[in-house]
Structure 1
């Protein structure tokens, strides 16, 4: 509590300095992560994760996009600490019940992996590490890249819906908002362009982009930054009314279950579903990246995605004695 009035500029400087210090501490903790963290504690861990994840993806490939999104939503809120997995209880509304997270799915995959690992090496592997590994394996299983996941995260003990509502980048964000959100967690403009490419897989309901089709500026108009023929197709065949909340649209029509570079082709043609997709064409760096991926001889998306996922997976991690190793991923011990 602040007992007396302070100069606003002084307070702002103090808060900025505090954020910087906290970020440095988080980055320092991330250096304790290692792909070999469980080599002696649970040597079969990665095999168990991969085998269990495959049992789901082989039957429902669309889960890969859901699991990748879950990892992203976890890391952008309080860091990669598995807090998105926690259920609301005792009057506390957890991240899982925040508005952007109501459409998350695939929690059964994480639970199944955790259950299998508890049988193999009880109380050893964190839910945060499981989520990072499952996201990697799911992407790899649908023809995406693979990467060595740095491990050693511990699980957070706090999960608040308000944090998710306030900190997750929105699908209707402009470039400035996106850049600010990414910079706040230590990611740069290239990471923004690369991680947006995750939209090469997955689906969306209509509400996150329906204003682009029906009421972009509040005057019953369409978004001029979206291909008008595509808008007509969506209005005719998918989101047939402004109030449609049930129809499903593939973010990368025709290959929404295959990890590839076609997302960037869609964005270049102004056919990305979200305003956040269109925003990539409003900045010189991200626009150049989009163009680079259109040519197979210059495309670097797979390698870049692996690098950015490793970088994202280190956001705000808990290591050492911080946090805990949850017995059940959906609740704090």
Structure 2
């Protein structure tokens, strides 16, 4: 490799690192104090926790290319329901109706077993110290970075809930068929703005979705008898082949048809060519006059800008109503409340 190319690569790496570091500082100034979270929370009690989490994910990644997107989604679906408290991990019990069965989660969330494996490894090194909520936050960052995305210092100190909220999971989480007005409102309810909406939607730059999540766009959009007019016709034909009108709606399609397992800014370029998989994706670009269009264009033209904003928005999202101090508990088993 030539010396000029090496220098260019090094400069790009330093630029991305600086951008993400600045994003962390900015996010900590505005949100870090609210939830009493800190990047050094386990510095003395479990200093290797991030390396342990990353190691388990790296091993799992060898046999499951989808795990990184799945772990990121778990953190997102957790934080949007009563805050980042690991409630999404709780199984049904005599006192709990699990969020796993809610419409946005059933058939969508996966790799709870990987979270259990991470928890086992962490408990072996630091018994009773690290919460399941923090494990989800660390796993989300590691997943993004292992897939080629940015890294950031995860703010920690969350504790785990002793309850779940099935009903809220059915209403608070964004749905794949919702329009931009509803999406903006749901993010605003969590203290997240329009830039956060676009940046976090960029998490769909990797992973898969079932045909059931978008088949309404392919044949009879909004009962019109026609497909969604914001779908690229070539892409429409490809999706129809994968998802026949009366076919198996659990079949999976890549969010990003070009780099399906890599974390990059291709998601936004896809929106510009009308190749967003979900209606909720394409709405960001195809809604006339929307403020989100300029943000999509910005992220598409500059990957570092997307990475900076994604890191900032992840830190912000991770600080939605955390349980801290003596609230909640540190679950020894992420699937159930201690003592039950």
Report if TM-score (shorter chain) is over 0.5. Answer: yes
* Superposition deviation, residue 113 in structure 1: 1.2
Residue of structure 2 in register with 1:37 after alignment = 41
1:293 aligned to which of 282, 296, 299: 299
> Does 2:116 align with 1:107?
no
1:156 alignment partner, SS class = coil
> Does 2:308 align with 1:303?
yes
1-side partners of 2:109 and 2:269: how far apart?
A: 26
Residue of structure 2 in register with 1:61 after alignment = 65
* Superposition deviation, residue 274 in structure 1: 1.0
2:253 alignment partner, SS class = strand
Between 280-289 and 72-81, report the one with greater CA deviation: 280-289
Residue of structure 1 in register with 2:135 after alignment = 130
Residue of structure 1 in register with 2:328 after alignment = 323
Q: Unaligned regions of 5+ residues in structure 1, if any?
A: 1-26
2:202 alignment partner, SS class = helix
TM-score normalised by the chain length of structure 1: 0.88
1-side partners of 2:89 and 2:280: how far apart?
A: 25
Matches within 5 A, 1:137-286: 137-235=142-240, 237-281=241-285, 282=287, 283-286=289-292
* Superposition deviation, residue 152 in structure 1: 0.1
1-side partners of 2:187 and 2:318: how far apart?
A: 13
2-side partners of 1:305 and 1:119: how far apart?
A: 32
2-side partners of 1:50 and 1:248: how far apart?
A: 26
2-side partners of 1:218 and 1:310: how far apart?
A: 39
* Superposition deviation, residue 234 in structure 1: 1.3
Contact 1:76/1:185 (8 A) holds in 2: yes
1-side partners of 2:156 and 2:304: how far apart?
A: 29
2-side partners of 1:82 and 1:91: how far apart?
A: 16
Mark the CA change 1:86 to 1:122 in structure 2 (over 3 Å): closer, same or farther: same
Residue of structure 2 in register with 1:119 after alignment = 124
* Superposition deviation, residue 61 in structure 1: 2.3
Contact 2:84/2:319 (8 A) holds in 1: yes
Residue of structure 2 in register with 1:97 after alignment = 101
Count residues in correspondence.
Answer: 305
* Superposition deviation, residue 45 in structure 1: 1.6
CA-based RMSD = 1.6
2:270 alignment partner, SS class = helix
2:170 alignment partner, SS class = helix
Contact 1:30/1:315 (8 A) holds in 2: no
Contact 1:57/1:141 (8 A) holds in 2: no
- 4+ residue stretches of structure 1 with deviation over 4 A? none
How big is each residue's C-alpha offset from its partner over 1:152-206, in whole Å with a ceiling of 9 and x where there is no partner?
0000111122121111010111111001000001000000010111110011111
